[in-house]
Amino acid sequence: MKADAERLLWQLDEDEDSAALGEPKWHALWTRSHFEQIVHDQLQAKNFEMFLPKINIWSRRGGLRCLTQVPLFPGYLFLRRAVDKQSYNEICKTRGLVRILGERWDRLASIPEKEIEGIKKVLDSRLHAVPHAYVREGQRVRISRGPLKDVEGMLLKIKPEKGLFVVSVDLLQRSVAVEIDCTLIVAA
C-alpha cells in the first residue's frame, strides 16, 4: 500500500514537471482597469515572456493635443509560457491581475500562435491600426505581399480599391483593423 502511494506521488510530481517542460502557449491575462502596464512590468521582471499590444492615439491634456500610447485590448495582455501549478501561483500574486482566462490552473485557455503573430505584424507595419468590433462573418483572406505578408484575417470592403482588414483574437472576442489595398489579398 505504501509503495502504491509513493508511486502515485511520484507520478503526480512527474506530471507537473512535464507540464512545466511542455510547449509554451499564449495565454490571456485579464487585469484591473488601467493596470495592463503594471502587470506587464511585474511579470516581465520575473522573466515571463509578455506581450502588451499598444496603439498611438491623439488625446487632449491641459488644452494641448498629444500622441499617447494605449493598450489595443484594454484590460488584457498576453503571456507565453507552459504554465505549471508553481508558475500559475506566481502569476496570480501579481498586483492588478484579475485572473488568467480559463477554467482552472491546468485548463487555461490558449491563443493560437498565428493570432498573436498577426497582431504583432499589424503593429510592426506602422500602418494606422484602430480597434475594431469583433467580426465573425466575412471573407477570410491572407495578405500576399507588403508589410503584412502572410497575415490572415477578415476583409470588410469599403471602396473598390481599399478594404478594411481585420485581425481577431477569438478568445477575447476583440479585433484590430487596418485599411489596406485590396490588390494585396488572396483567399485564405
pLDDT tens-digit readout, 108-141: 999 999 999 999 999 999 888 888 767 555 778 8
Query: Which pLDDT score is estimated for 9?
Result: 37
Query: Which pLDDT score is estimated for 117?
Result: 95
- The tens-digit pLDDT sequence of the chain (188 residues) is 444 444 433 333 434 443 445 899 999 999 999 999 999 999 999 999 999 999 998 888 888 999 999 999 999 999 999 999 999 999 999 999 999 999 999 999 999 999 999 999 999 998 888 887 675 557 788 898 889 999 999 888 667 678 888 999 989 999 999 988 877 878 77
Going along the chain from its start, the domains and CATH numbers come out as 2-100 (3.30.70), 113-187 (2.30.30)
- Joined grid coordinates for residue 68: 499617447
CA Rg, the chain, in Å? 20
Query: Which pLDDT score is estimated for 141?
Result: 86
